[in-house]
Amino acid sequence: MACLHGPRLLNLEKTPPHLQFNDLILTGYRPISTFQGCIRSLFYLHNEFGNIYTHGIPFFCFLVLLPLNIPWSEVEQTWMCVFHYLACLSPTVGSVLYHTFMNHEGGEPIYDTLLSLDMVGVCLVNTLGCLPIIYITLMCYPGTCILALLSYSLISAWGILCATTARSNYGRLRAFIWQALFRVLLFLFRWLGDGVGSPASLRLFFTMDMLAIMGGLVNLSRVPERFSPGLFDYWCNSHQIMHVLVICSIIYMHWGMLEDLAWIKTFQCPVLE
């Protein structure tokens, strides 16, 4: 629970320019702080408090609970379990660090580094989370599978570069388009019956991507604060809604992967004559 006594919070016009990235959030800005001051902000209410905890609480839940839920010893390709676990954790780690320390006294250079780290986390969930899905979908086509894994890795590397150098929310969202299009083709391949995988997982993976896209669009549109600037400074603004949708997306990814991992234990690729 946040304590009631923190430093005097600032209005938008009194906060440094690099922190004025949403001009519809009018109040509740933390003053420039030391490392210790940023840590103390975990315990009082401000306009980044919700952003920290909507990813901070899920991070600790994923960290502790997912290893108990992933069938590590039952899957021959253990790397898929490792990649999936890291994918679930990566966006929450970068996000919590970014939102906790964005007002550090190091100023804009520290802010830019933290934002890049946040974007790398988002890129990693798209990369590490999808590689096991690609492998399972194309496991009966070894040559195509290797080519697809390499191609998606290169696309992801390009996405990381674009996301970390973009100067706007639109540019950062656009950095993930090629990964999304690749997954659309992958899911179509599975849906049409050429790829393999659990019949139940495709619906879960589709929901995963729809939630992630919705989160990005909500953050880009700045709804609901666009309709009433200042009313959503502390709670229920677009960035917090995006955080919740991202967590829901990760949960659906996890459910889909569990379905696939259970399915491949009994599946054998047909022998070509």
Binding residues for Zn(2+): 99, 239, 243
Q: Number of C-alpha atoms within 13 angstroms, CB side, residue 235? A: 1
Alpha-carbon torsion (19, 25, 27, 30), positive or negative: negative
Known binding positions = 99, 239, 243
In sequence order, which residues have a C-beta less than 8 Å from that of residue 180 and are 6 or more positions away? 209, 213
Q: Cα dist. 125→70, 106, 209, 236 in Å?
A: 17, 28, 11, 24
Tokens of 180: 């999304």
The answer to whether 152 touches 131, Cβ cutoff 8 Å, is: yes
Q: What is the C-alpha separation between 68 and 66, in angstroms, rounded? A: 5
Instruction: Please return the burial class of 183, using the count of CB atoms within 10 Å of its CB with bins 0-12, 13-18 and 19+.
Output: buried
In sequence order, which residues have a C-beta less than 8 Å from that of residue 113 and are 6 or more positions away? none
Overall size of the chain counted in residues: 273
The answer to whether 2 touches 20, Cβ cutoff 8 Å, is: no
Q: Number of C-alpha atoms within 13 angstroms, CB side, residue 71? A: 14
